[in-house]
Amino acid sequence: MELDIFHFNRKLDELKKIFNEIIGKLVSDQFYDHLLAQRYRELKKELLFQLISSSIHKSNTTYLSEVRTALKKLTTIDDPNIPDASNFHGPARELLEALKSDLQMNFTFQDYDTLVDEYLYSWFGPNEFIDNLLSIQFLFLKTDRYPREMNRFAIEIRSCYAFQQSTAACALCRTLLEITVKDIYKKNKLHIPESTNFSKVYEYLERSDKMISRPENFTPTLNDRIEIISSLPKFNDLQDTLNHVRILGNDLVHGNYTATQALAFEMIQRTFNVIQELYERN
């Protein structure tokens, strides 16, 4: 969205003027003006509501760069005029923290109703969330231990799909696959030079022209790990599926394209199925 930088420059100047008045009265009169503070909060809220409709705002001008810098700090938890309290100590730090807390925006029930209607229920509803959430399979793993990060990513993948954040769901599938492949790699002792299976690492290094003087120091990529675990007979026929998830995930992470909800569904099912199969066969 095109940013009306001159409009926001005027509004930010007004905001700064109110802030300076608050500080001036606090310093000279030892008086905290609650009416000024309320004006400050309301103006911040007004500006934030003008920005909420888009995540990216552009302004192709070298002038007023300070406006863009100030607007970056215009959020419910930050402020364009209050310095970072962590850079101060003692009473100054306490004052800044108190100011930041008190000058945070207050949202009324009407504000929330308006924003929820316009930015949530206009494209999405709770029934759709539940329908989407329950349309995706769960993971059932034949193992007594698995990386705890897997649970977090599996939850986020299903939640992203339920909220129709398709590209995010697909990108997280690639991360979940990498966590899994690393775990399977370790479970098969492919990282231990003394293990029988380490011969598969030697073979891979030789055929891929990646042989190094000390193979035990080899740091494999996800692609390397997939190639190596797929050389184990029990995983051999999973290589194509593992690479499909990896390559599609890479394309999405690198911004080559975005995912549809249908693609996200297919990606999640394929990822969960191949992960489940890896543990089933291990």
Establish if 235 belongs to a structural domain.
yes
Amino acid letter for position 18: I
Write the pLDDT tens digit of every residue in 205-254.
Answer: 888 877 666 777 788 999 999 999 999 999 999 999 999 999 999 999 89
Residues 191 and 267 in one domain: yes
Residues 144 and 227 in one domain: yes
Residue 278, burial from CB neighbour count under 10 angstroms (0-12, 13-18, 19+): buried
Residues 152 and 72 in one domain: no
- Among 112, 140, 157, the domain-final residue is 112
Residues 107 and 144 in one domain: no
pLDDT at 31: 83
pLDDT at 211: 65
- Among 112, 140, 175, the domain-final residue is 112
What tokens were used for 65? 């760069």
Residues 190 and 253 in one domain: yes
Task: Report the alpha-carbon distance of residue 275 to residue 242 in Å, rounded.
Answer: 9
Q: How do the pLDDT tens digits run along the chain, 282 residues long?
A: 788 889 999 999 999 999 999 999 988 878 889 999 999 999 999 999 999 888 888 887 777 788 888 998 899 888 999 998 899 999 889 988 999 999 998 889 999 988 888 888 877 788 888 888 888 888 888 998 899 999 999 999 999 999 999 999 999 999 999 999 999 999 999 998 899 998 998 888 888 877 666 777 788 999 999 999 999 999 999 999 999 999 999 999 898 889 999 999 999 999 999 999 999 999
Task: Report the alpha-carbon distance of residue 169 to residue 216 in Å, rounded.
Answer: 35
Establish if 120 belongs to a structural domain.
no
Establish if 121 belongs to a structural domain.
no
Establish if 127 belongs to a structural domain.
no
Residues 158 and 235 in one domain: yes
Establish if 153 belongs to a structural domain.
yes
Provide the number of structural domains found in the chain. 2
**CATH number of the domain residue 239 falls in:** 1.20.120
Residues 241 and 175 in one domain: yes
Establish if 126 belongs to a structural domain.
no
Residues 136 and 106 in one domain: no
H-state helical runs in 103-162: 109-119, 126-135, 148-162
Question: What are the phi and psi torsion angles at 207 (to 5°)?
Answer: -75, -20
What tokens were used for 276? 């489940």
pLDDT at 3: 86
- Mention every residue, 6+ apart, whose C-beta is less than 8 A from residue 196: 189
Residues 107 and 222 in one domain: no
pLDDT at 64: 79
DSSP one-letter string for 173-223: HHHHHHHHHHHHHHHTTTT-TTSTTHHHHHHHHHHTT---S-GGG----HH
Q: Which domain holds residue 83?
A: 5-112
Residues 61 and 155 in one domain: no
Residues 160 and 272 in one domain: yes
Residue tagged 């310095």 (tokens)? 83
Amino acid letter for position 258: T
Residues 170 and 267 in one domain: yes
Establish if 117 belongs to a structural domain.
no
Establish if 124 belongs to a structural domain.
no
Question: What are the phi and psi torsion angles at 188 (to 5°)?
Answer: -95, 10
